[in-house]
Amino acid sequence: MSESDVLYDDDFPVLTTGAQLEKIEVRAELVRVVPWRRKVWVQELTGEELDEYREPMSVIDSKNNIKLNLKESSLRLLAMAIRDANGNRIYPNTEAGIKILGKMPSSGLEIIAKVARQLSGMGEDEVEVEAGKSEPTPSSHSWEGSASPSEE
């Protein structure tokens, strides 16, 4: 038995029914976006949202070849991950959100995108905490059964 097996045996229960998965909450973080002088709620994507996010990235051409299309992929991720304090999407219409966010300064968009990718388990991006960049709130937030944070 490896060291990682022991860690999992001690820390995580074994999944025995699908009902156990229903108790897992979607994570979110309140992120300081210094260039915009704003705080933004960023939520990890659900499985359905992840599929919706990835779907436009694969394009089948006339010869049935699959081509990767990354156009607007970061903006699509942001339109889906930016939420209000209750977990509702700020841009429920993804395409409209892409158009609005596409006109925003990229420095803030990159800060939010890194957190969204990290929360959603995409890649190995680490949130950079540097002066003038991002200072995520240390505690995560779950939408279910949580009180809305007070406005500052």
CATH classification at residue 106? 3.30.2220.20
Host domain of residue 125: 25-142
pTM of the predicted model as reported, rounded to 2 decimal places: 0.69
Strands (E), the chain: 27-33, 38-43, 58-60, 66-68, 82-83, 141-142
The structure tokens 């973080």 sit at 29
**Residue 75: enclosing H or E segment and its boundaries?**
helix 73-81
* DSSP 8-state code for residue 24: P
12 located within any domain? no
127 located within any domain? yes
Q: What is the structure's pLDDT at 140?
A: 47
* DSSP 8-state code for residue 82: E
3-state secondary structure of 67: strand
Higher pLDDT: 29 or 147? It is 29
**Confidence check: pLDDT of 137 > 60:** no
Length of the chain as a residue count:
152
30 located within any domain? yes
Q: Determine what percent of the chain is predicted with pLDDT higher than 70.
A: 74
Q: What is the mean pLDDT of residues 7-33?
A: 84
Confidence of residue 7 (pLDDT cuts 50, 70, 90): low
Higher pLDDT: 41 or 4? It is 41
- Residue 25, both tokens: 């909450």
72 located within any domain? yes
76 located within any domain? yes
124 located within any domain? yes
152 located within any domain? no
Going from the C-alpha of 13 to that of each of 17, 96, 131, the distances in angstroms are: 11, 42, 40
Q: What is the structure's pLDDT at 87?
A: 95
Of 117, 149, 128, 131, nearest to 39 by C-alpha is 149
Give the number of domains in the chain. 1
6 located within any domain? no
Confidence of residue 146 (pLDDT cuts 50, 70, 90): very low
Q: What is the structure's pLDDT at 56?
A: 87
